[in-house]
Amino acid sequence: MEELILKEREVKENIVQIINTSGLPAIVIKPVLQDILRQVELVEQKEYLLAYQNAQEVKEQDKKQGGDKKGK
């Protein structure tokens, strides 16, 4: 968990540094960040759906294994 927090901080610092050194006005940076946010939201949704599907598959496997044990 600590590693994740450090990575998050590093990403934020890198983004801020890139913005500050770009020399671009906010009117240009804002739409770029909005586009990136949309892309991240799509990835987040895909990750959630994949995790949900995996959890359902594990649940089904547990049911099958539990059913096999009861039948023995």
Confirm whether 1 is domain-assigned: no
Counted residue by residue, the chain has a size of 72
pTM for this predicted structure: 0.70
Confirm whether 5 is domain-assigned: no
Count Cβ atoms within 10 A of the Cβ of residue 19 and give its class: 0-12 exposed, 13-18 middle, 19 or more buried. Answer: middle
What pLDDT score was predicted for residue 66? Answer: 81
Q: Please give the residue range of the domain that contains residue 53.
A: 24-72
Query: Which residue numbers in the chain have pLDDT < 50?
Result: none
What pLDDT score was predicted for residue 71? Answer: 53
Confirm whether 46 is domain-assigned: yes
Using left for φ > 0, alpha for ψ between -120 and 50, and beta otherwise, residue 25 falls in: beta
What pLDDT score was predicted for residue 72? Answer: 52
- The pairs formed by 54-60 with CB atoms below 8 angstroms and a separation of 24 or more are none
Confirm whether 63 is domain-assigned: yes
What pLDDT score was predicted for residue 70? Answer: 55
What pLDDT score was predicted for residue 33? Answer: 97
Look at the chain and report how many structural domains it folds into.
1
- Helix H or strand E segment including 57: helix 26-71
What pLDDT score was predicted for residue 67? Answer: 64
Confirm whether 18 is domain-assigned: no
